[in-house]
Structure 1
Amino acid sequence: MNFLLSPSTRRISQAAFAACLLMTSVALPASVRADDTDSRLRQLEGSVDTLNRAVFKGEKPPTPLSTTPAATDDYQASVESRISALENELRDLTGKVEKQEYETTQLKANFEKAMADINMRFNDAKAGATPAAGTAARQTGTLAPNDMGGDVPQDTTNPTSLTSPVEQPLDPNAPASQESPTVQKLGSVPVAPGGATIPPTGDDATTQYEAAFSLLKGGNFASAKSGFESFIAKNPKSPLVSNATYWLGESYYANGEFEKAARVFAESYKKYPKGPKVADSLLKMGMSLGASGKKKEGCVALKQLKKEFPSSDTVTLRRADQEIARFACQ
């Protein structure tokens, strides 16, 4: 057919055919490059997913799918970015843990400071006691401060009943609640006529304990103190000693002697950490501290109760919340 075309027409046709060939040769590399870019993008997405699994699930990341310089650089940048984010999260969590540890340390330090202050004040009060006061103490059989150790401030406002987990303030001269855990354990103890019975001097520890408790229920607090002190001195290894120490504190508390009550409750808490009255001792120590005007120290003790015994008796915790609100603890 070429022989029918003029020379000029043949040249135009040849030029058009060459142009088509040139355009086809240029288009093919562009398509190849697009496919290569898409493949690299999929490889990077797979690398990021692999990194996430390695970070959050502990899987070992495989060797990168591509070893080209660009892919390696992108992969390294992604890893470094993720590591930086994890380091920031770790620093944030570390800061929170350190803050909690600091607050716990401060609470413990404040509690120990309050205990030391109570001891110092009680010892100072003892050193400055008048002869008449000393004589009265001997007549009631009160233990010397160092016999029990520790001290706690007193609550001069409306002393409560002898059992710590009570809901309403009671007359300090009223008998102990019949719902006391100790009363339930030992059974009902008849109140001595007139509350003036002297504790027995025999060796029967249970009888001596019940007699002292009977005095306490009858409102004869001075004789009850003497009875519990005698019991503790004569039966130091009795399983009832921890309870007797607590009720000795209640005898002081009901009699309005809050400084001494605080000291005994503090000793009960420190000396018998596994005893049945440890949470109640901490509660009454806080109440005694607040009642004596040392509300700050009382708040420390009450907060320690909620922190150390979060699963304690519901009534005890509810009473602690009431006292915290009454003392306006921060």
Structure 2
Amino acid sequence: MRFLDKLILIILLSLNFFNNSFADNHNIYETLEIIKNDLKTLERAVYSGSIETSASTNQQSNIDLDSNSEDVLTRHLLKLSQVEDQFRQLTNKFEEINFKLDKLSNRLSKIQADNQIRFQDLESAISSGDNTTQLSSKPKTDTTKSEILPGSSQPQDLGTISYKDTETPETSQQIQSVDTTASVVTETFQAEEKILPQDLSPKKQYEFATSFLKVGDYSTAERAFREFVVSNSEHELAGSAQYWYAETFRIRQLYTDAASAYLEGYQKYPKGNKAPINLLKLGVSMVQIGEKDQGCKMINGVELQYPKANQSVIQKAKYESKKFECIKEDS
């Protein structure tokens, strides 16, 4: 509006000039009409430009706001996607760690169970040294039984085997039956460097050999117990040493060698502290190498041969008999 006011003022001054200069002009009215029309046209042009300018300004601001909103939304969506990816990765890592922990827990449970069994055997070996009176001096036999266990005073199939006769040049053993007993072969002990301290008493040597079992060095324990049995075959701990010698094979799943060592212990030390458990382990080893009939006969014969043995051994024999489905023969 200021622009129009100035323009009107200029026109009025021009009219005054025209009035002074052209007083005698009779066409002033026509000139004014022309100027009015021009002013109206100019006014419309000015108002139209301002409206278009304001409209374009509003439209541009709306476009800028929409563009800013889209940019903000896009940034939030990208951030949310990154958070989802990180959460997914953390979930996968958690599941992987949980799976590893389950495996580790199962492995520790197995190791704990295995160690518990071994320590129980060691504790029973130590405690049985003071409880020799619990075992009968002579095993009671059932006169109604027509069969006698192999390896007893009246040997039958298994008891008639001589270890020297079982030596063969063949490199592999063929398991057939106990009658031919290629499956039970004693190990020929070769002279090696002494393991047991020679300046110690037999009892200390026995404890020294047992220490290898406690740390899991079964190959060295095998040599140590064998050396003890050879050097102290008449000692009261020889039967126990022979039993642990056989155990070193069983723990390593060498069941044929274990059966041979158990059999030697059963025949040489039938009245030793470890005789009942030795007979039980002999029967189990026989079953594991494929001689189920002979093995079951020995497992079922533990209670008959050693009726005053520890109840844990008798209960273990019953469990193994049921486990291997051994059929007890009626009298």
- How would you bin the TM-score normalised by the shorter chain? 0.3 to 0.5
- Normalization by structure 1: what TM-score? 0.45
- Normalization by structure 2: what TM-score? 0.44
Greater relative contact order: 1 or 2 (C-alpha under 8 angstroms, separation 6 or more)? 1
